[in-house]
Amino acid sequence: MNNPIPARLAALRAAMQQHGIAAVLVPSADPHLSEYLPAHWAAREWLSGFTGSAGTLVVSRDQAGLWTDSRYFSQAEQQLAGSGISLMKLRVPHTPEHLEWLQQQLHDGDVLAVAGDSVAVTTQRQIERRLADSGATVRTDLDLPGAIWADRPALPQAPVVEHELAWACIPRADKFARLRKAMHKLGATHHLLSSLDDIAWLTNLRGSDVECNPVFLAHLLVQAEQRATLFVGRAKLGDALVAKLAADGIAIADYASITSTLQELGATDRLLLDGGRVVSAIAAAIPPGVTRIEAANPSTAFKAVKSAAELDHIRDVMRRDGAALVRGFRRLEQRLAAGMAVTELDVDALLHEERSAQPGWVGESFATIAGYQANGALPHYRATPESHSTLQAKGLLLIDSGGQYLGGTTDITRVLALGETTAEQRRDATLVLKGMIGLSRARFPKGASGPQLDALARAPLWASGMDYGHGTGHGVGYFLNVHEGPQAIRPPVAGGALVALEPGMISSIEPGLYKPGRHGIRHENLAVVVEADRTEFGEFLAFETLTMCPFDRRALEPGLLNPEERAWLDDYHASVRAALSPLLDDVDLEWLHRHCAPL
């Protein structure tokens, strides 16, 4: 089959020549700056053929490069082959990041084009500052990839539904009242939101416009005087829901009318917006006389801290999700023991079948990663009908999966030993587990941030001269996006914000180790920050592990665990056994007890 990418790049370059453009920047972004995109805005994927969720494409008159991080190096090398696009490895010595590369390539009078509906206000400013010394300028009014994309998918039209109060726990009127207090404190008369998870959380609405993320395409303009306008496709909402929203002071307007509404703001209005979460095409509609207040969306911090009622639902969801995984893992072992042919795709199907039978289940929280042996070394691997492996009764299988439930969102990774394993595999799996245990057991002072704790998970690997290229933990939404801010557990970044961990925040704890061509290890639990104790030195916090599912001890080398680590693992398995036993019976219960036995 012919590779369509060279022809698409040629069409793009022809459009560039027609408009006098020296280079085009194509981010992985939509007008809501989402991590995962509706197909309508997957221009970077369409132009490059690279399907990873993180990447930036730059096309000049005679060169093209795709920048991505270490999670996707192997995948990108395969997918870019023969495309005419070079893989540019982020955070690798001597490889310039894309703005540095553009500084080197562009000269006085050159013009860089980036679609204004795919670049944040703050990012546009950064690009302009970086290119100023070279004399190049930026145009955001040209969407050249969109101009040549003849069969571009339409906008999604999935229905929007209410997240009933029994699950949402907090009435939307209370959420808006809290938001307006924050607006008043900042001196804002209006607040513009484009981030889909903020909008879904505030309104207690959910949708399915983005695969695996229960959000819907919308903008929201909140006024200080108990009024707000939700810009969304009217056909997505039933009449009864529109009436309920109106009773809470929320009017409905057409999705595309956000810019015309912003243009009506006056000189006395003071508009709060997050410049990192609003695109320049939307911000360009704000009249010059309107005072802009640029600050983080208050709702982002609000929704990160789960309420006691939400946490009760989440704990129940974790038990049911864990029971589904036990059934799926037991059935997988049974099939392999019987000599049946089992592929990575079958693993996905098994877990889907078991999770979908659980009360309140809505769908997967992301595409399941089932990577056998060398495929496990690709952190964001995804088996396809065209490319997947058949499991054998030996080696390691990495399974990273999660579910969306009305009462919460799950994300878990386990490494299963399917039979005989090597000493290297068991050592690596144990070193990664030591890191997870070290962070899970941590006590830390109130005000500490994720970057301050990240090294706890890496220390056992560092001691053996090894590391991993991704963050250790991300926030998780409440029946929302599986990746949520503002908190994160990751290495420190120059100039990066240090967001304090607060009680009620949920984070993944997921150290890993990847050896291309051999195997990959990642252990992942979700944990919530809780109050620990108060001493003469102040308040201290800790993590409560929420995920309930056994680790496969057959993949470990117990002799590498110290007494405290062995005790943590035995205590965790005792908790899992107690939590899941009432939900299981017969062979599934026996499997649970066997895998939760003390070391």
* pLDDT tens-digit map of 451-487: 999 999 999 999 999 999 899 999 999 999 999 999 9
- Quote the pLDDT of residue 53: 85
* pLDDT tens-digit map of 400-438: 999 999 999 999 999 999 999 999 999 999 999 999 999
Q: What average pLDDT does this structure show over 525-544?
A: 97
- Quote the pLDDT of residue 91: 82
The structural domains of the chain, ordered by start, are 5-148 (3.40.350.10), 161-297 (3.40.350.10), 308-595 (3.90.230.10)
* DSSP H or E run through 206: strand 205-206
- Please classify residue 92 by burial: count the beta carbons closer than 10 Å to its beta carbon, then call 0-12 exposed, 13-18 middle and 19+ buried: exposed
- Quote the pLDDT of residue 383: 79
- Quote the pLDDT of residue 544: 98
- Quote the pLDDT of residue 382: 85
- Quote the pLDDT of residue 553: 96
Distance CA 461, CA 455 (A): 10
- Quote the pLDDT of residue 414: 98
How would residue 94 be classed by pLDDT, with cut points 50, 70 and 90? confident
- Quote the pLDDT of residue 1: 57
Q: Give the chain's mean pLDDT.
A: 96
Q: Is the pLDDT of residue 92 over 90?
A: no
How would residue 217 be classed by pLDDT, with cut points 50, 70 and 90? very high
- Quote the pLDDT of residue 274: 97
Q: Is the pLDDT of residue 163 over 60?
A: yes
* pLDDT tens-digit map of 288-318: 999 999 999 999 999 999 999 999 999 999 9
Instruction: Show the beta-strand stretches assigned E in 217-344.
Output: 219-223, 228-231, 250-253, 270-273, 291-294
* pLDDT tens-digit map of 513-523: 999 999 999 99
Residue linked to tokens 């409905």:
252
Give the percent of the chain with pLDDT over 90. Answer: 92
Q: What average pLDDT does this structure show over 81-96?
A: 88
Radius of gyration of the chain (CA): 25
Q: Is the pLDDT of residue 181 over 80?
A: yes
How would residue 494 be classed by pLDDT, with cut points 50, 70 and 90? confident
* pLDDT tens-digit map of 363-386: 999 999 999 999 999 887 887 888
- Half-sphere exposure for 200 (CA within 13 Å, toward CB): 23
How would residue 576 be classed by pLDDT, with cut points 50, 70 and 90? very high
| Long-range Cβ contact pairs of 89-96 (< 8 A, separation 24 or more) | 91/469
